[in-house]
Amino acid sequence: MNKSILYGAISASIIAAFFVGMETSSMMLNKNPFGTIFDKIDKNTLDDLPEVDTKSLIRIESQTDLSNTKSRLINYIWRDKGFPTWLPSVQSVNDARFNDLENLDHIEALAVIMEHNVSSNAYLFISKNHGDKLVVYQQGHDGGFINGKPLIQRFLSEGYSVLAFSMPLLGDNNQPWITDTDLGPIKLESHDHLRFLDSQNFSSIKYFVEPIAVSLNYLDQQYDFTKYYFVGLSGGGWTGVIYSAIDNRISQTYSVSGSLPTHLRLENEIGDYEQTLPEFYRIANYLELYIMSSYGEDRKLVQMFNKYDPCCFSGTRHLLYENNIKDSLAKLGSGNFYTYLDETHKEHKISDAALQVILDHMKE
């Protein structure tokens, strides 16, 4: 089926659903009218995808392959300078936006200044009588981690401390002017602008992961946390997979509407600079990153999708590769991979149902 037929079928389904809804509104009160439309979109999308031998795309067949791939990713990100060992600048803060959080002992601000004066400003929320477990929360492209305040509150209420990040250039992070380019001055307002900074000696992909690495260095030094969880929405879910693939300090990763393998994406899902960097994904494609994020003793990756997500990665395309990831992990002898399909809403978010699944997994 070509795209014009697919889009025509979608439009026809939407129009039909509208008029049927006009006549049978009482019936629709008991059934989500968007369900039928999205089910048809999902079916047509799957039928329209070319057949791919997913197993053949996975080049990681041994622990040696996995270790070598991890080393190559780290070398690409930090240009052979090695995984960062330095610490962030830290200070206690009193932020009125978070004064009403319950079970909160105090907040620390962790600042990481990187090349070209690009900064990351994260908050460490220490819970009262905090235990030995911490959640790394990564917000997506829709703003700063203030948007995740309800989730931060829930984790605090459950006794977890939280280290919260915004994506580069978003939230409380800066958007500096770059003057040393061949194209003239550029203000970094979009992730797609970052490609203008890349060179043989520098990769902007580090902006997405270095603040996490440096902040965890501080936590390792100053606190006694024994387990780190990673929870991310959208671009934050993408970050969770990438970061946990290169740092085994993350025990469990929960990626919500974060990514799909490139060959399973629709036109509007291709993504920003960081999701489409060819040199990076030639080292490890998304399937291999899922394996790396899942691999290890007491480690797991849970990919979570909103079936009716209006933004991206809706439907059930994860079923086309789920078993391949599990088979690879079984062959490697360690690690766990799960998926969860949220059918409770039609938004781009971490729903209450998904959050409960995350909390249940974390307590296992």
What local confidence, expressed as pLDDT, does residue 97 receive? 98
Mean pLDDT of 48-62: 90
Question: What global pTM score does this model have?
Answer: 0.88
What local confidence, expressed as pLDDT, does residue 206 receive? 98
Instruction: Share the mean pLDDT of the chain.
Output: 89
The domain ranges of the chain are 1-48, 54-362
Mean pLDDT of 177-189: 90
161-165 and 119-127 strand pairing = antiparallel
pLDDT band at 182 (very low <50, low <70, confident <90, very high): confident
What local confidence, expressed as pLDDT, does residue 45 receive? 62
What local confidence, expressed as pLDDT, does residue 183 receive? 83
Does residue 193 register a pLDDT over 90? Answer: yes
What local confidence, expressed as pLDDT, does residue 50 receive? 75
How many helices and strands, by DSSP H and E, does the chain display? Answer: 11, 11
Give long-range contacts, CB 8 A cutoff, 24+ apart: 140-147: 140/167, 140/232, 140/233, 140/234, 140/235, 140/236, 140/237, 141/167, 141/170, 141/191, 141/234, 141/235, 141/272, 142/234, 143/170, 143/171, 144/170, 144/171, 144/172, 144/173, 145/171, 146/97, 146/171
Q: Which residues sit opposite 305 in a β-bridge? A: 341
CATH number of 54-362: 3.40.50.1820
CB atoms within 10 A of CB 141: 18
pLDDT band at 42 (very low <50, low <70, confident <90, very high): low
What local confidence, expressed as pLDDT, does residue 5 receive? 38
Sign of torsion over alpha carbons 235, 171, 169, 229: negative
Mean pLDDT of 231-247: 98
Lowest-confidence region among 14-23, 238-247, 260-269, 329-338: 14-23
Please write the tens of the pLDDT for every residue from 114-150. 999 999 999 999 999 888 999 999 999 999 999 999 9
- The CA dihedral of 325, 329, 334, 337, to the nearest 10 degrees, is 10
Mean pLDDT of 72-97: 97
Mean pLDDT of 178-200: 92
What local confidence, expressed as pLDDT, does residue 41 receive? 53
Whole-number percent of the chain with pLDDT over 70: 87
Query: Which helix H or strand E contains 256, and what residues bound it?
Result: strand 250-256
Q: Which of 92, 108, 102 is nearest to 150 (CA)?
A: 102
